[in-house]
Structure 1
Amino acid sequence: MLMEKVAEILREASAEAVEPRFRALAAGEVLEKAPGEVVTVADREAEAIISRRLRELLPVPVVGEEAVAADPALARALVSEEAAWLVDPVDGTSNFVAGHPDFAVMASLVRSGRTVASWIWQPVAGVAYAAELGSGAWRDGNRLTRPAPAPQPEKWRGILKTRFLDPATHHRLQTNARGLGEVTAGRFAAGIEYPLVATDEVDFILYWRTLPWDHSPGTLLVTETGGVCARLDGTPYHPEPPGGPDGLLVAADPQTWEQLRAALTR
């Protein structure tokens, strides 16, 4: 019941606050909340709707991207509370502002520091993803499975996120990635990119900055289809407040993850 209820909340909040403003944002509805980071009225209104309804469903703290921007201390609930909701009301806000369809509405439930359920709604595509720890992952209610990638690294398809890399690390990773297959800069929205791994469209992603609302939903989706989401030292990903470690390697299966880490960090 919980899985269906949260999916419904995301769809309805999107229909009310996000979709009517897609390619229709008025003057003054887009603001800069930090250098290079924008927020819209749609982000704030959708987060308010989702947060209120999630608390009605399960009365635990809600760690929303926009609420944390106003009060960073709210993110401590991810490690101090037994349970907390995570909300990203418009993942890929820059795409949304530019009128590009690659954006998503996301939520996840964290218990004892671990993501136990997650939801991704892609409004323009009209596609819903969900995952539950130990139970599997689904797209529009259909269970997701994916084959193992080809054993040859030169055939691997992937995404290398470089925006937050220092110059030396950027150069090293770009150089080391030359032996891999098709590598792109991605779609600039985690809620679009993680499902690509779960559905066999790409084999890996390397992220650097890992804000919890961006990565909690997708990491569970990938691991529930047999993938691995771990720090470069091998530590499994867990959602934590901003300011934690950088670097997150996502791969379709454990063998590919190990080979990628060796190739990219040599």
Structure 2
Amino acid sequence: MIDEVAQLLVCAAETAILPRFRRLAAGDVAEKGPGDLVTVADREAEQLISRGLREILDIPVVGEEAVAEDPSLLAALGEQACWLVDPIDGTSNFVAGRVEYAVMAALIHSGKPVAGWIILPETGQQYVAERGSGAFRDGVQLWRPPPPTDVERLQGAAPTKRLDKQEKAQLSEVGKRFAALGPGALSAGVNYTRLLAGDLDFVLYQRSLPWDHAAGTLLLAEAGGISLRPDGAPYRLTDSPTDLLLNAADRTSWQLVQAALWHN
């Protein structure tokens, strides 16, 4: 099933996404909310993926675009099993013609991801994980490289899209405690792959929508990393989407970052 789902995501990208990259017409892009874009590629890819996933395992599918039309679909996350789909993670990048976007899916059981997939259409890379069986990139098992042990050498990302001017200023000031703290790739999927590769040591999110983080947090955990709320509570897909989420290379680096951000 792992390979079947990966191939499904690749085919959906080849059919609905890649042919439209840097070729979107004015009528191909809309706003679901202020600054929250959706394209015909998002919608078509989600339909293709959802149909294919049901053929692999006939359980409910919770897709980002379907939930935008019918929020009640989120209730399936609390059921015994469901699929979770983000057809284009980083839609704003896709619309702007930037290559930092991903296609993601996860298999959820009892509210927890048990398998996850991140596909990067522009590079062809495939990241997959199954709970208890490890994380893999293009068939090669991943282990997160050891991060620096000094907070001043850690490199991180914290998306600022939804922060106001004062919050951005505060984040910029606290960012001086690290080697680097930038906005990241504007795609959770891409940020997770960079965290896995060692290009980032931590990523702080102001929003934690389930389709943005289910696959990535599982991949990170299987590669030796950790994803927790700032108070140390575990990440749960059914939590409020406005709850902060701190991902880090390992528990020690998580503790260093948590102390630097919230304990002056």
Q: TM-score range by the shorter chain?
A: over 0.9
Counterpart Cα distance in 2 of 1:203 and 1:30: 34
Counterpart Cα distance in 2 of 1:96 and 1:164: 19
State how 1:134-173 maps to structure 2 within 5 Å.
Answer: 134-165=132-163, 169-173=167-171
Residue 261 of structure 2: aligned partner: 264
Residue 121 of structure 1: aligned partner: 119
Counterpart of 1:175, as a letter, is E
Please tell me whether the aligned partners of residues 145 and 197 of structure 2 are also in contact (alpha carbons under 8 angstroms).
Answer: no
Counterpart of 1:262, as a letter, is A
Counterpart of 1:60, as a letter, is I
Pairing 1:221–2:229 present: no
Deviations 1:40-65 (A, max 9, x none): 10000000000011011111110000
Question: Equivalent residue of 2:27, what SS?
Answer: coil
Question: Equivalent residue of 1:187, what SS?
Answer: coil
Following superposition, the deviation at residue 182 of structure 1 comes to 1.4
Pairing 1:45–2:34 present: no
Deviates more, 1:232-241 or 1:104-113: 232-241
Structure 1 residues 245 and 41: alpha-carbon distance in aligned structure 2, compared to 1, 3 A threshold: closer
TM-score (norm 2): 0.96
Following superposition, the deviation at residue 169 of structure 1 comes to 4.9
Pairing 1:33–2:32 present: yes
Unaligned runs of 5+ in 1: none
Please tell me whether the aligned partners of residues 85 and 110 of structure 1 are also in contact (alpha carbons under 8 angstroms).
Answer: yes
Following superposition, the deviation at residue 238 of structure 1 comes to 2.1
Pairing 1:247–2:244 present: yes
Question: Equivalent residue of 2:26, what SS?
Answer: coil
Residue 96 of structure 1: aligned partner: 94
Divergent runs of 4+, >6 A: none
Residue 66 of structure 1: aligned partner: 65
Question: Equivalent residue of 1:28, what SS?
Answer: helix
State how 1:164-203 maps to structure 2 within 5 Å.
Answer: 164-165=162-163, 169-203=167-201
Counterpart of 2:114, as a letter, is V
Following superposition, the deviation at residue 25 of structure 1 comes to 1.1
Unaligned runs of 5+ in 2: none
Counterpart of 1:220, as a letter, is L
Please tell me whether the aligned partners of residues 177 and 263 of structure 1 are also in contact (alpha carbons under 8 angstroms).
Answer: no
Counterpart Cα distance in 2 of 1:21 and 1:165: 30
Counterpart Cα distance in 1 of 2:159 and 2:26: 31
Counterpart Cα distance in 1 of 2:212 and 2:116: 11
Deviations 1:194-223 (A, max 9, x none): 011111111000001111111111111111
Please tell me whether the aligned partners of residues 92 and 102 of structure 1 are also in contact (alpha carbons under 8 angstroms).
Answer: yes
Please tell me whether the aligned partners of residues 89 and 106 of structure 1 are also in contact (alpha carbons under 8 angstroms).
Answer: yes
Question: What is the number of equivalent residue pairs in this alignment?
Answer: 263
Question: Equivalent residue of 1:87, what SS?
Answer: strand
Residue 75 of structure 1: aligned partner: 74
Q: CA RMSD in A?
A: 1.4
Following superposition, the deviation at residue 68 of structure 1 comes to 0.2
Counterpart Cα distance in 1 of 2:232 and 2:163: 19
Following superposition, the deviation at residue 244 of structure 1 comes to 4.0
TM-score (norm 1): 0.95
Counterpart of 2:21, as a letter, is F
Identity %: 51
